[in-house]
A and B are shown apart, each in its own frame.
Chain A
Amino acid sequence: MLNIPVIRWGKPYDSLEIDDVLHFATGEPIAKVSQANAGIISRDMRQVGKARDTLRQIPCSEIIEILKKAADLYESATLPIGDGTQTPAEFAHQQSASTGLPEHMCRHNMSKNSFVLRNMQQILDCLTRGLDLNILTRGYGIEDRGVVLSYQAQASALSAVLPSNSPGVHTLWLPAIPLQMGLVLKPGPQEPWTPYRMMSAFVEAGIPKEVFAMYPGGPEAGAAVLNASERAMIFGGTPTVERYKGNPNVQAHGPGFSKILLADDCVDDWEKYLDLMVESIYINSGRGCINCSGIWASRHTKEIAQAIAEKIGPIEAKPPTDPEAGLAAFTIPGMGKAVWGMIEADLKEAGVTDMTEQYGERLVEQEHCSYLRPMVVHCDSSEREIAKKEYMFPFSTVVECPESQMLAKIGPTLVCSAITNNEQLIDQLTNATHIDRLNIGPIPTSRLNWLQPHEGSIIDFLFRSRAYQVTEEAQAAL
């Protein structure tokens, strides 16, 4: 069993408060994780400036090369973690054991993270729209077209209060290091694995360990990280998003409410898009904010719901080591039952039909965990309460709604895949500010192009474009 310390700017610190990370299926402890008290975090954060100073000594281009090595190490090497080591297979096993995600999905998430690390140059090139990264290092510079410009760093580190339920989110903070920002992470209680393994890979590849801080802990630790940080990400529910709305220091990532819209010009061919809809709902056990939780169309909705239900309704909970396992377990006691209770209440509303009912009980309770088997729910109107819901398992509504009302009714949508060739609708979608990522055409909501920004550009979050004027002589020397 691993003992995982708090990391205080690279230095391990064993706390007197320890949290046992347990195997969800057996209840056996698989790691002991030191818990940071809030005071440690606020005290350490006074040294945050050193992290950026250290990283600015290494050119961005060099860091990007180091990241390629880190990608290989992360994916393939045995790495030091806490007081022991960890192979890639152990990582997948441990992550699966504490989060409930099947092991093959953990391995897939590993390759996703490695891919992002390996392709950081292109990703940053796209996110910065081709900016010379030395301008970010120095704070100002000159473009090819002869204009002086400045991007001022708004922080010395990027902080993140991370979730336990979706290992996919880690790709969002990976660009911090090549942008020469330190990393301050508060791992999710069940998911210390990715942050620690990633840090280990970075350090082994050559990034100075002094630029990393890891603060596992309770809600108090999360609050301390947010409070002490100049720029921080947090992942949570709608209340979390509401709480930090308008706070420029905090980027709150909440539920996705991602949707597929089948427009009138394509909906009669809905069968062509069945696999796309199934993939969007079911991939990664439906845990991500990019998984589809609502399919909207003006007609054929019952047939669509029925067809999806036939595909995913029969899926059973399988052991996490089974390569065919498609469902993640709810590892927090009582959570699966509580979620099912909420759904059951919504199913009572008139006009709401559980299309997966015929495929057996959805709630599967085991000794230490529970599962919810995939669900497809038909709504005869967008006014149904369940049409606004999203859950952490393969769950989607199929909502009947006239095309003309869709945009007004769908609500906040992280990823919208609009299947249409209707130019007028495309124009309206493009201008809809409640849609974040927009896919036009038959693209699964879950298929992200890493060259695109996600919930706001990290460059805009960490840097501020501002005026910077120099004399003509100085400009000539740039």
Chain B
Amino acid sequence: MTRSLPITAPAADDPPAAPPVESRARRRSRRVTAHPVAGMLFVLPFFLVVVAFLVVPLGYAFWLSLSSKSLALGTRFSGIDNYVRAFTDPVLLDGLLRVVLFGLVQIPIMLGLALAGALVLDAVTTKFALAFRLIAFMPYAVPAVVGALMWGFLYSRTFGPFADLPTLVGGEPIDFFSVSLLLVSLGNIVTWAWTGYNMIILYSALQGVPRELHEAAVIDGATPVQVALRVKVPAIKQAISLAAIFTVIGTMQFFTEPQIMARFAPQISAGYTPNLYAYNQAFAYSDFHYSAAVSFALGFLVFVVAYAFVFVNNRRRGKRA
């Protein structure tokens, strides 16, 4: 759920498009007094946690991002300079372009697989389905670092089972860390880790689709494929777009797999993904200020992308209704 933070956080900062100040203040004060103290006490623990672990850190990071620290000159207030630098930083922009391209290919493949898996699970009701559900979900339970290391070895020329496969038919061994395959190799790890998770989300949504709908379709002479594509998929559209949003956000924040995989693949550079770049700025180059700015810039972009996605989706739904 931490993945959804960047959406909600900047949204909370955004002042709602101003109703007249006076009336808003009056309305709010009346509402506050109307709340019983007990209600506030119930909210308090959650409120404190949110303030301590979300609002304060975000505020602090934002404050950091407004200063610049140069090694030779020390720290000074610099306003939006860091943001100007971030949005014109070729390394950051390259990394951004990379994750966008990555997402354009990987997200549809993964969600397609997850949807197909969920539809099959929904249609099949044997004991096998239960076992399959567990197995498909398992990669999600493997910590990302462990998963990435594991794949690092599976891709290895010496230890992995896959690299030498083409030599069985007289081909060249595969180099999974070569430039042309690196993103595919990374995409495979992400797909492996997250397909099952998304499949379970979609499967749960399918459980909520009234059975009468399928029955009606079957009585009308629909084939199982038609039932799946024309009845079930439209019925869980919202779950699909939810899964898509989480995935888009996760992709924009791509970090763990490239960070671990850099040990195996030297061409994963310090700015391979925007998140990796922010990490290196802070923890390798000691520039916490610029790192905060990069983080916020990325958070802002994620927010824009996610919001645009929701907006377009809602519009489409609105039209259909």
Q: Do A and B bind each other?
A: no
Residues of B within 8 A of A (CB): none
Residues of A within 8 A of B (CB): none
